[in-house]
């Protein structure tokens, strides 16, 4: 077990009691085990990185430490004292401070008011406020944490808001600071400044836990690093003794390769041509920063990447439902014709009419209506199709018959079209979605996480169907966080990081290590993101005629 | 599998809620020194014991069917329309304007026109909250309830300043012309040679209400629009994925909901009062919420729940008339039924579900 490894390392590390010591922490949410028997030792006065993919259990572990969740089993020691952390007040008293990914600040309060919120000294605000003003001045000098105490939060930049969060924790005399994905919302310059602040805090003897999935940050600033994967702590090492390559492999993990029988691709004309696609979401965050790629008929383009790097936005945009309030630019051509990205013809129904099918990332929220019967879900998105309608009314008998046939062909179990979607297992739910989208025979199929939460048998089945569709000359865009799936299904692999395509690789001539580095945002110079993988004859003029918005 | 059988969900749960509400009502009646049994028999006798009682019960039922369906349709799109009261008031205005506009020759001509007027005015009153919700994100619960007050004020103004006949001291419109008077159910029954509840307000609208129950069922479960409404109500991201426009569905659903609430005016304004009164809706818009909840958002359930509330209304009136139980207590009883069947539904449902789950797991090896 990995636990044994890190305990040994931990002991050889330091003689002083650790700031944080976790032993055998487990936590389940229903059938999902978010943390499995986790042990972690964070020595005093160090910066400790915790790295792992989204959903690896990092945030759950930190929430346990901060008293938001109660662990099912295990022991927590803070500075050598065993503690039962039942709520965040206990954690704060023990000297733990947390800076959340999404700040917990009152927008229309001033910095000073936010700092004393929940830590007022008495019924009168004036005494607390003047005390806080003094402390703040001192902290600002000590750690370069300069913020105007009388500015309201809504007037501050994101970087400054984060400083307020750090100041809040320090004001509460935290000497163990947990930062959850702190650079996710920061510009590079702001991130650099944050790192200087963290170095300063460390020099003062504070302990810092940094949760991230960015390898670069880990290498730059941490003393030790622990890697989590699928709820388990798979390794704890000294940063100086490891390399980004090793961490990338540990983070992504290597499973037995799933076997997919597939002939070499026989690509035809380009079906989808995406050029310089940009998307800024409603919060002003750049989700796509100029994406360009082609997919040709009879080809599967796999998009690898840690989730949250723009893949969702790419799928939603192509599928016809980008987040409300997003600003979109760039161009997309489908079968040589321009797709309307922002106008009235940019909705999902129009996309379907243009021959774009979509197996969405989240079948339970998007792909299926869970309370609808299986047969009703078979018409979902295609409920305007003539064969499902009879005059003014829907032809329920026809839909039911179609559902029965699809369930037969895709071996959906139980084969009961009247059962509500929520009563099927994950794999069978996904088969319903896959059957619906593939059997429409779309020119382009968008696929997000086709086998998330799907059992092995269904995975193979779904993979086979995807390859069959490819062999019938269709274009497929496959987005998955499972590298094995990407490697075994794709004909070409594009790696996304932070809204960009970091590079394209061919599955036969790459390794998980190499992909892992690209996924962590470490670019090489050999292959430039745009040109790799697109044969010269298919590259067309970069300046496509601009659509009027 | 589902947590419990359909019959337990649809029949047993509301029944237990009802019995609980009645038990507590009985305690309240005992506490003021009256006999609960006598109260019950008076209510049953008064509401269901004669064709006269039925005549009133069904009249109230008709009102509640319309407002219940209005809440139900919106609920399928996950929209909580609590503006049925205001929409029904405006429906009344629409009916009054149509009925007073022309010397209608026959009710058969006046009725379709009045129905259009009622539906249009009710829908229009729901349009603004719907638009605000769809486009601006203003919560429909807040806006529809505010629109109830605006409707009441507007109606007051229109009745006092525009529709009130010269010389009248009453804030009410003039009587509708003879040709708009709807046939009472008693007259229709008499046509078949059946003697049935004279001088009761129940009229042909009751039959229309039943037809509309069926039409709403078709709309929700048999049309594309109904499919889209239900899909949107279950999952907005799902709707977007499927190419269903949330703005369009929100607006259309609220228009239908408002129109249904507005149609109630055919019963109370055109069918009963035969003129527009200031407070003709009498809270039926709010009762509609309880009716829809208790009817499990199905037209047939709405019909049954409307019948129950019709009974409570008429039985309650009888109770006040024939016993020393004060009028206010009737409101207490009605409130208890709403409380238990509507608000405290989960109090009964969750233990029942547990019971059925336990029974099922015992049944299996």
B-chain residues within 8 Å CB-CB of A385? none
Asked if A148 and A202 sit in the same domain, the reply is yes
Asked if A220 and A277 sit in the same domain, the reply is no
**B164 falls within a domain:** yes
pLDDT band at residue A254 using 50, 70 and 90 as cut-offs: low
Look at the alpha carbons of A118, A119, A120, A122 in this order and tell me if their dihedral is positive or negative: positive
Predicted local confidence at residue B362, as pLDDT: 64
**A261 falls within a domain:** no
Q: Is residue A475 a contact partner of residue A489, using CB atoms and an 8 Å limit?
A: no
CB atoms within 10 A of CB B45: 14
Judge whether residue A546 has pLDDT over 90: no
**A263 falls within a domain:** no
Asked if A34 and A166 sit in the same domain, the reply is yes
Q: Which CATH number characterizes residue B101's domain? A: 1.10.3470
pLDDT band at residue B363 using 50, 70 and 90 as cut-offs: low
Number of domains in chain A: 2
Considering only the beta carbons, identify the residue of A358, A369, A383 that sits closest to B224: A383
Give me the interface pTM, i.e. the ipTM.
0.85
Considering only the beta carbons, identify the residue of B1, B230, B245 that sits closest to A347: B245
Asked if A245 and A298 sit in the same domain, the reply is no
Q: What is the Cα–Cα distance from B261 to B144, expressed in whole angstroms?
A: 12
Asked if A33 and A109 sit in the same domain, the reply is yes
Question: Under DSSP, is residue B178 helix (H, G, I), strand (E, B) or coil?
Answer: helix
pLDDT band at residue A541 using 50, 70 and 90 as cut-offs: very low
Asked if A171 and A30 sit in the same domain, the reply is yes
**A169 falls within a domain:** yes
Q: What is the Cα–Cα distance from A323 to A330, expressed in whole angstroms?
A: 17
- Distance (Å) from the C-alpha of residue B82 to the closest C-alpha of chain A? 25
Asked if A224 and A278 sit in the same domain, the reply is no
B-chain residues within 8 Å CB-CB of A383? 224, 227-228, 242
Sequence-ordered list of residues with C-beta below 8 angstroms from that of B19, at least 6 positions apart, any chain: none
Last residue of a domain, one of A251, A279, A297: A251
Asked if A295 and A339 sit in the same domain, the reply is yes
Q: What is the pLDDT of residues A150-198, one digit of tens each?
A: 989 988 888 888 889 999 998 988 999 999 888 766 766 778 888 998 9
pLDDT band at residue B330 using 50, 70 and 90 as cut-offs: confident
Asked if B225 and B98 sit in the same domain, the reply is yes
- Distance (Å) from the C-alpha of residue A447 to the closest C-alpha of chain B? 13
**B80 falls within a domain:** yes
Asked if A125 and A219 sit in the same domain, the reply is yes
Asked if B174 and B30 sit in the same domain, the reply is no
Predicted local confidence at residue A277, as pLDDT: 96
B-chain residues within 8 Å CB-CB of A348? 240-243
What average pLDDT does range A356-361 have in this prediction? 95
A-chain residues within 8 Å CB-CB of B242? 348-349, 380-381, 383
What average pLDDT does range B174-198 have in this prediction? 86
**B328 falls within a domain:** no
**B339 falls within a domain:** no
The answer to whether B243 contacts A320, with C-beta atoms less than 8 Å apart, is yes
Judge whether residue A430 has pLDDT over 80: yes
Q: How far is the first Cα of chain A from the last one, in angstroms, to the nearest whole number?
A: 56
Question: Under DSSP, is residue A447 helix (H, G, I), strand (E, B) or coil?
Answer: strand
A-chain residues within 8 Å CB-CB of B2? 420, 423
A-chain residues within 8 Å CB-CB of B240? 321, 348, 366
B-chain residues within 8 Å CB-CB of A424? none
For every residue of A156-225, DSSP letters joined together read S-HHHHHHHHHHHHHHTT-SEEEEESTTTT--HHHHHHHHHHHHHHHHTT-EEEEEES-HHHHHHH-SEE
- Distance (Å) from the C-alpha of residue A223 to the closest C-alpha of chain B? 42
Structural domain of residue A350, as residue ranges? 270-355+442-538
Last residue of a domain, one of A188, A216, A251: A251
Predicted local confidence at residue A259, as pLDDT: 63
Judge whether residue A547 has pLDDT over 80: no
Q: What is the pLDDT of residues B101-142, one digit of tens each?
A: 999 999 999 999 999 999 999 999 999 999 999 999 899 999
Considering only the beta carbons, identify the residue of A360, A369, A389 that sits closest to B231: A369
Asked if A241 and A295 sit in the same domain, the reply is no
Number of domains in chain B: 2
**B331 falls within a domain:** no
pLDDT band at residue A1 using 50, 70 and 90 as cut-offs: very low
**B188 falls within a domain:** yes
Asked if B314 and B350 sit in the same domain, the reply is no
**A393 falls within a domain:** no
Predicted local confidence at residue A542, as pLDDT: 37
Sequence-ordered list of residues with C-beta below 8 angstroms from that of A309, at least 6 positions apart, any chain: A496, A497, A498, A499, A519
* A385 shares contact with chain B (CB less than 8 Å): no
The answer to whether A420 contacts B2, with C-beta atoms less than 8 Å apart, is yes
Sequence-ordered list of residues with C-beta below 8 angstroms from that of A159, at least 6 positions apart, any chain: A186, A187, A190, A193, A194
Asked if B186 and B267 sit in the same domain, the reply is yes
Q: Is residue A210 a contact partner of residue A176, using CB atoms and an 8 Å limit?
A: no
Closest CA to A251 of A306, A183, A181: A306
B22 or B195, higher pLDDT: B22
What average pLDDT does range B21-39 have in this prediction? 89
Asked if B112 and B178 sit in the same domain, the reply is yes
Sequence-ordered list of residues with C-beta below 8 angstroms from that of A369, at least 6 positions apart, any chain: A376, A377, A380, A421, B230, B231, B234, B235, B238
Asked if A218 and A277 sit in the same domain, the reply is no
pLDDT band at residue A490 using 50, 70 and 90 as cut-offs: very high
Predicted local confidence at residue A30, as pLDDT: 66
Q: What is the pLDDT of residues A368-415, one digit of tens each?
A: 999 999 999 999 999 999 999 998 899 999 999 999 999 999 989 889
Considering only the beta carbons, identify the residue of B222, B228, B243 that sits closest to A348: B243
Judge whether residue A12 has pLDDT over 50: no
Q: What is the Cα–Cα distance from B365 to B362, expressed in whole angstroms?
A: 7
Predicted local confidence at residue A538, as pLDDT: 39
What residues 407-446 of chain A have any CB closer than 8 A to a CB of chain B? Answer: 420, 423
Predicted local confidence at residue A278, as pLDDT: 96
B100 or A543, higher pLDDT: B100
Residue A542 is encoded by which pair of tokens?
């970069």
Predicted local confidence at residue A239, as pLDDT: 92
Q: What is the Cα–Cα distance from B178 to B159, expressed in whole angstroms?
A: 21
- Out of A7-21, A33-47, B318-332, pick the least confident: A7-21
Predicted local confidence at residue A258, as pLDDT: 55
Structural domain of residue B21, as residue ranges? 1-34+346-358
pLDDT band at residue A347 using 50, 70 and 90 as cut-offs: very high
Predicted local confidence at residue B2, as pLDDT: 59
A-chain residues within 8 Å CB-CB of B244? 349
Considering only the beta carbons, identify the residue of A366, A389, A393 that sits closest to B241: A366
Percent of chain B with pLDDT over 70: 98
* B360 shares contact with chain A (CB less than 8 Å): no
Predicted local confidence at residue B361, as pLDDT: 66
Q: What is the pLDDT of residues A283-337, one digit of tens each?
A: 888 899 999 999 999 999 999 987 778 999 999 999 999 998 899 999 999 999 9
What average pLDDT does range A244-256 have in this prediction? 72
Asked if A127 and A234 sit in the same domain, the reply is yes
What residues 211-230 of chain B have any CB closer than 8 A to a CB of chain A? Answer: 218, 222-224, 227-228, 230
Percent of chain A with pLDDT over 90: 46
């Amino acid at each position: 077990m990995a636990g044994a490894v890190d305990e040994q390392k931990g002991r050889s590390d330091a003689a002083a009691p650790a700031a944080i010591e976790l032993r055998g922490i487990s936590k389940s949410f229903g059938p999902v085990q978010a943390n499995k028997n986790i042990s972690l030792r964070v020595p005093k006065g160090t910066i400790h990185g915790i790295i792992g993919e989204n959903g690896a259990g990092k945030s759950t572990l930190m929430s346990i430490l901060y008293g938001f969740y109660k662990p099912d089993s295990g022991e927590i020691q803070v500075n050598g004292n065993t503690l039962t952390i039942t709520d965040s007040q206990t954690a704060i008293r023990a000297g733990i401070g947390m800076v959340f990914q999404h700040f917990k600040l009152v927008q229309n309060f001033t910095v000073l008011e936010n700092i004393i919120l929940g830590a007022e000294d008495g019924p009168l605000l004036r005494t607390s406020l003047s005390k806080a003003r003094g402390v703040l001045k001192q902290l600002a000098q000590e750690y370069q944490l300069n913020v105007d105490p009388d500015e309201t939060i809504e007037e501050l930049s994101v970087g400054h808001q984060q400083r307020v969060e750090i100041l809040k924790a320090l004001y509460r005399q935290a000497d163990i600071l947990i930062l959850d994905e702190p650079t996710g919302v920061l510009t590079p310059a702001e991130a650099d400044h944050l790192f200087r602040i963290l170095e300063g805090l460390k020099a003062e003897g504070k302990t810092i836990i940094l949760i991230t999935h960015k390898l670069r940050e880990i290498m730059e600033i941490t003393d030790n690093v622990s890697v989590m994967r699928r709820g388990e702590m798979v390794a704890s090492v000294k940063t100086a003794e490891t390399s980004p390559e090793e961490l990338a492999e540990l983070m992504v993990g290597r499973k037995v390769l799933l076997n997919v029988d597939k002939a070499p691709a026989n690509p035809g004309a380009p079906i989808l041509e995406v050029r310089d696609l940009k998307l800024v979401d409603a919060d002003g965050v750049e989700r796509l920063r100029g994406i360009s790629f082609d997919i040709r008929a009879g080809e599967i383009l796999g998009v690898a990447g840690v989730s949250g790097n723009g893949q969702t936005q790419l799928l939603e945009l192509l599928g016809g439902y980008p987040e409300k309030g997003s600003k979109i630019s760039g161009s997309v051509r489908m079968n040589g014709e321009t797709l309307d990205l922002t106008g009235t013809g940019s909705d999902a129904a129009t996309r379907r009419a243009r021959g774009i099918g979509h197996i969405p990332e989240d079948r339970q929220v998007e792909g299926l209506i869970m309370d609808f019967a299986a047969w009703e879900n078979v018409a979902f998105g295609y409920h305007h199709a003539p064969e499902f309608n009879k005059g003014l009314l829907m032809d329920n008998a026809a839909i039911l018959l179609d559902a029965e046939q699809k369930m037969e062909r895709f071996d959906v179990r139980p084969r009961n079209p009247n059962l509500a979607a929520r009563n099927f297992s994950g794999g069978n739910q996904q088969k319903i979605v896959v059957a619906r989208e593939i059997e429409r025979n779309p020119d382009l199929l968008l696929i997000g996480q086709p086998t998330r939460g799907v059992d092995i048998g269904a995975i193979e089945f779904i993979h086979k169907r995807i390859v069959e569709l490819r062999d019938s000359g269709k274009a497929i865009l496959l987005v998955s966080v499972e590298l094995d799936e990407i490697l075994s299904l794709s004909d070409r692999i594009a790696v996304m990081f932070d809204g960009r395509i970091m590079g394209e690789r061919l599955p036969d001539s790459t390794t998980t290590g190499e992909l892992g580095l690209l996924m962590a945002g470490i670019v090489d110079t050999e292959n430039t993101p745009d040109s790799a993988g697109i044969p010269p004859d298919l590259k067309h003029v970069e300046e496509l005629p601009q659509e009027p918005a | 599998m589902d947590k419990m059988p359909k019959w337990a969900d649809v029949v047993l749960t509301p029944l237990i809620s009802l019995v609980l509400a009645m038990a507590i009502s009985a305690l309240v009646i005992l506490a003021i020194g009256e006999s609960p049994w006598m109260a019950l028999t008076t209510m049953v006798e008064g509401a269901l014991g004669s064709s006269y009682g039925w005549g009133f019960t069904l009249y109230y039922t008709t009102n509640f069917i319309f407002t219940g369906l209005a809440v139900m349709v919106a609920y399928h799109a996950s929209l909580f329309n609590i503006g049925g009261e205001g929409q029904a008031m405006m429906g009344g205005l629409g009916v009054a304007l149509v009925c007073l506009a022309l010397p209608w020759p026959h009710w058969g001509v006046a009725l379709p026109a009045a129905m259009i007027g009622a539906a249009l005015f009710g829908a229009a009153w729901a349009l603004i909250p719907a638009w605000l919700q769809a486009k601006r994100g203003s919560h429909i619960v807040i806006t529809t309830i505010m629109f109830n007050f605006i409707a009441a004020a507007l109606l007051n103004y229109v009745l006092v300043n525009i529709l009130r006949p010269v010389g009248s001291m009453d804030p009410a419109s003039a009587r509708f012309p003879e040709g708009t008077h709807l046939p009472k159910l008693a007259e229709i029954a008499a046509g078949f040679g059946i003697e049935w509840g004279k001088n009761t307000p129940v009229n042909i609208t009751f039959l229309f209400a039943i037809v509309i129950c069926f039409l709403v069922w078709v709309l929700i479960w048999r049309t594309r629009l109904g499919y889209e409404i239900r899909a949107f109500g279950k999952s907005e991201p799902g709707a977007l994925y499927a190419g269903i426009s949330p703005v369009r569905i929100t607006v259309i659903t609220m228009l239908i909901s408002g129109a249904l609430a507005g149609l109630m005016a055919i019963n109370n304004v055109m069918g009963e009062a035969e003129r527009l009164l200031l407070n003709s809706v009498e809270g039926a818009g709010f009762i509609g919420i309880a009716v829809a909840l208790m009817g499990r958002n199905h037209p047939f359930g709405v019909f049954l729940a409307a019948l129950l509330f019709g009974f409570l209304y008429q039985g309650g009136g009888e109770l006040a008339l024939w016993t020393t139980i004060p009028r206010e207590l009737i409101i207490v009883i009605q409130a208890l039924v709403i409380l238990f069947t509507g608000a405290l539904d989960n109090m009964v449902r969750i233990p029942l579900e547990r019971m059925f789950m336990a029974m099922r797991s015992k049944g299996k090896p």
